[in-house]
Each structure stands twice: as structure tokens, then as C-alpha cells.
Amino acid sequence: MNRRIPLRKRLLVRLLITSVLIALCSVTATAWLAVQTTTRAIQEEQGQVLADDMDILRQLSGYAATHPDWSGVGKTLRTLSDRTGRRIALTTPERTTIADSAARKAALPPRAAATVDPLHTDTFTEPGAQLSGIDPRAVGPYRLTADERLRVAKLAVVRQKCFARNGIDMGITRTPSGRSVLTNADGSTESGDVPLECADGRLYSVTQTEEKALAALTERADACLIRHGVHLGSPLGIATDATALTMKLRFQGGKMPSDERGATSATANACVDSARREQLAPYVAPAAELFLGTGDSAVPRFDMSTANKAKVVGVAGLVLALTVAVTALVATRLVRPLRALTQAAQQPLEQHVRVPVTTQDETGILAVAFNELTERRERMEAQRKAMVSDIAHELRTPLTNIRGWLEVTRDGIVDPDPELLASLHDEAVVLQRVIDDLQDLAAADAGTLGLHREEVRADELLEQVAAAHRVGAEAAGIRLLTSADGTPWLDADPVRMRQALGNLVSNAILHTPAGGTITLSVRGRDGQVVFEVTDTGIGIAPEDLPSVFDRFWRAEKSRSRRTGGSGLGLPIVRQLVAAHGGTVTVASEPGAGSVFTLRLPCTTAPVPSAAEAD
């Protein structure tokens, strides 16, 4: 049979289509990943731009905190613009331009990016945050004079050396007001226990400048409290926290007195905060609007250029071409052994063609399996031919004898006396036995062997078989013994089991010389009923043991079929035992005898009925 496979069903075409689909998916996924990665990179770059914008706001807020106006901010704007690549513009709240880094005055964005107001911001600790705090760099009248800065710096060096003598390593940092303070390695101000010899209180004492500024602040705060009708009951005292890097104000005594609702404390804090802004206002630049770049421009979207599109298409085409080429090569190598297998399978059955095994993959395994199947088919064919020859020989001998005697009787050469009729009857019995055995084997092979199961006592079954063959054994001069260990039960067809055990006993009688012994035993073990037929006969050669249960096999090839049996008894035993869900094995030693062992599932003893119990 040589059918042409449709093109769409060929393995090569299927592999090619699959590879093309995989390649297309790979290219699409790669392109999508590239776009996503590029977009993410752009977004990350914009994040960096946002960080730069915050730094711009921080530096401009610092400029405003240390300058009373914006007159000199142009140079700072241009420096920041050159570093960040952004357009930076400052205007008044009324949109009057203060300074602009752009060479040509282009239109400003519709909205400002932020408001630069050192009295309402916190860009020092949180860059870019627009909070209600005061920029710590706005120190105004609290800035120390040159002499004060020098004196405090010397005191800081003395205190640092004192700490060093006590095994504490401290650094010196200058605050925005010009005051020098000691800091730890992590940048924080000194805290914890201070060595006794270092606690002189001189470094952090209030200077004349700070005292004057605090007095003016207290006066402003008291005026505010009077306007709000708040009476503290004690003078308002305000002091600086000189140990902090930033300048913070605190009330004398640590806390303000408050009423039950806390309104007094809140009003006092608000007055102090308002007084500080009024005090610092002359020293800082006025609030300004900050415009950055194009302000309201959206996040740029990834747009592939024509050149990039051509590159992607070219790479995709190259990937597809390589995929098709590699797939074609691999598919050809895969299909070649399959074609060899197909050609071998299409050869006539009698040739028993093998295929060469060239690979160790799935096709190689398939080739090995095909060769093994061919060998089994060849063996089965040889066995079939041998079985047909044996069957013909088995049937020919009795039929030839019957025909010969009938012909001479018909011609009147021999009279049909009782002796002749008995001989013809024996030949018919032999013929019937062969036919019955073949019929049983055919039914077992077809799975139609009928079994009539019932609960059977194994020891009684064994005694029945022994009784049926005891006369024949005694006639051959052989002792037939039985042995039962307990009373195991099995669910089986008693007729078929007697047939199986009878075949084994008959076979043992045929191969056991006079004076020998045949022992039938049964016992229960591990949920099984074990039958054993042991003889002291001629035994079986080790090389013949695998063929014991083959059809028409005989231990002695020289024995006639009349004395040696038909060669079907043991195959019938195996089929009958297998039909009952059991197994049969043989162990033998030449000259010492053989042991045939049957193992069948055990069952529980049936419960006797009330009538049986009575």
C-alpha cells in the first residue's frame, strides 16, 4: 500500500508551519518588549528630570532665603539651565518676568511648576515640597557676625578635642546662621551623654546677635498675643536650639501653658510663627512663580522611525528565514527514518525486513521497536508453521492407521474381529484427545473459555485428582501421594482445575520411571492457594525450561506421540490457571525430577446455612 500523504498532513509541512508561528510570536514578543523597555526608559528619564526640577526649586529657594531680592538670580538661572538642559523662568505672581534662561523670550506655559517662597516651603529637608514651613536657610537677623562665627568656631574645635580625648570622634558642621556645631559620623548632631569635662555650656550659648533677634521676635509675638486677647500668665520666652543643624525656635521651659482645649498654646504658636515671618520678610526675596521647560507637555510616546521600522522588518525576516531553514533541516532528518520505517512496513510479510537504527532519539527507539516486532513476528511465523506441521502430524498418524485397517477390512484381507475394533477405537480416542486439546486452547486464546466458579476446598480437589489417577500410577509402578496443609479455599471451576492438575499428574506419570514417586501437595500462603506436583522423573534440561509451556513441545523428542502425549497438556494448564487469575511455574533438575507449582487467589470459607449447621 503506497498512499500519497496530503501536503497539509505531512510532518515536514506541519513542522514548518509550527516553526513559522513560533518565530512570528517570538518577533512580536520581542518588538513589544523593546517598545515597553524603551517607554519605561523614557519614563525613568522623566523621573530624573523631575528630580532635577526639585533640585532647581531647592536651590532657588535657598537663593531667595539668603537674598533680599531677585536682582542677581540671572547667573544662577543660567547655570542651572546649562546643567539640567531645562528652560528656567521666574516671574512675579502677576506674570511679570524676573529672570529667564531662554535666549529668546518664548511664551511661558499656562501654569507655573512651583512657587518659590522661602517663608512657605521646606525645600531643605524635602526638596520640592511646598509646605507651610520656613526655609531654614532664611536666618535674617540671626546670622552671626564674623567675630561671632570665629569665636564659636574656636569653641567648636576645643569641644571637638575634648570629645576626642574621651574616645569620641566628632565632626564640625556650620549651620545656615554661621554657627558651628559638632556632628556624629552619620551627620546628626551630638546626642546622648556628654563627657563631664566637655559640658562647659560655652559652645551653644546664645550670642549677642541671636539675643537681639530673639528679643525683637518676642516683642512681635507679644503684640500678636495682645491682639488676640491671650494672656499667658508669665512672660513669653523664646530661645534657639543651637545643637540643631537647622534653626528652630522653642518656648522657654519646653512647653507653652494651655487651657483644656489647647487654644492658648495654638494661638501662641501661631503668633510666634507669624512674628518670625514678619521678622524675616525684609531679609528674603519676595515670592516668585517658577516655570520649567514646556511645563504642561505630556510624557513623550515611543514612535518608531522609518529606519527603525526597516531594521525590525529586516531582523524579523532574517529570523523567519533562519527558522525555516533550520526547521527544514531538522524535519528532513526526522522524516528520513520514518520513511525507511514506512517502506519496510510495506514490504511483503514473508521478507521480515529490518531497518537500520541510526539515531538514539524517538525515531531510533521506534526503529528498535519495529525491529523487535519483526523478530517476534518472524518467531511467531516459525511457531505457526511448526504448529501446523505438528497438528498435521498428530492427526495424520491415527487417521492413517484407521484408514489402513478399514481398507484391508473392506478388501476382505482382515476380518473385523474385536481386537481390530479395539485398535481402531484407541486410534479414535487419540484423535479425539488432540481435537479436544486444540479446542480448549482456541477457546482460551479467544477469551471464551467458560468457567463455572464456586467455592472449592483445595484439599478435597487434590484428593479427587489423586483418586482419578491412582490406578494409572499403580499400573506404571509409581506411588501417588498427597499432602495438605490446612483446608484452604479457592473460588474456581472444579472441573477445569481437575483438568489442569490432571494434566500435570498425567505428564508426571509419563516421565517418571517405575518405582518413582509423585506427590500432590496444597497449602495456603500470603493470600494464595499453592498447589505443587512433584515427581522423581527424568527432569528437564535447563535450556528447555523456557519452552515447557509451548505448544507441541516434548521433553523427549524421541518418544512417540502415543507415549509422549500430544504436547498440548502443559499449554492447556497455563491457560486454565491464567483464566483463574493464577500463575504456573516449573523447577527441574535432570535426573532428579520436576516440581510444577500453581498459585491461585485464596478465598474465605463459605458460611454454612442453618440447615447445614443442623
- Separation CA 144–CA 203 (nearest Å): 14
If you average pLDDT over each of 42-51, 133-142, 483-492, which comes out highest?
Answer: 483-492
- Separation CA 471–CA 432 (nearest Å): 22
- Separation CA 509–CA 495 (nearest Å): 20
DSSP string, 298-351: PPPPP---HHHHHHHHHHHHHHHHHHHHHHHHHHHHHHHHHHHHHHHHTS-GGG
Q: Which residue has the higher pLDDT, 324 or 251?
A: 324
> Tens digit of pLDDT for each residue in 432-490?
777 776 777 677 666 666 778 899 999 999 998 888 888 888 888 999 999 998 889 99
> Tens digit of pLDDT for each residue in 187-218?
777 766 788 888 877 888 888 988 888 888 88
Whole-number mean pLDDT of the chain?
A: 78
pTM equals 0.44
> Tens digit of pLDDT for each residue in 55-89?
888 888 889 888 999 998 888 888 888 888 888 88
Contacts 24+ apart (CB under 8 A), 183-189: 183/245, 189/243, 189/244, 189/245
Looking at residue 122, its pLDDT comes to 60
Question: What fold characterizes domain 450-606?
Answer: Heat Shock Protein 90 (3.30.565)
Sheet holding 97-100, edge to edge: 97-100, 88-91, 288-292, 114-116
> Tens digit of pLDDT for each residue in 241-261?
655 555 554 444 334 444 444
**Structural domain boundaries of the chain?**
1-124+287-344, 140-283, 362-443, 450-606
Q: Per-residue pLDDT for 422 more than 60?
A: yes
460 Cβ neighbours under 8 A, 6+ residues apart: none
Phi, psi of 576 (to 5 degrees): -65, -40
Looking at residue 312, its pLDDT comes to 66
Q: Per-residue pLDDT for 587 more than 50?
A: yes
> Tens digit of pLDDT for each residue in 333-358?
777 777 777 877 777 766 677 778 77
265 Cβ neighbours under 8 A, 6+ residues apart: 255, 256, 257, 258
DSSP string, 116-130: E-TTS--TTTSTT--
Q: What is the CATH number of domain 362-443?
A: 1.10.287.130
If you average pLDDT over each of 153-162, 194-203, 297-306, which comes out highest?
Answer: 153-162
As given in the structure block, the three cell numbers for residue 365 are 527507539
Looking at residue 394, its pLDDT comes to 64
Q: What angle do CA 317, 322, 323 make, to 5 degrees?
A: 95
Q: Per-residue pLDDT for 583 more than 90?
A: yes
Longest Cα pair distance anywhere in the chain, in angstroms? 167
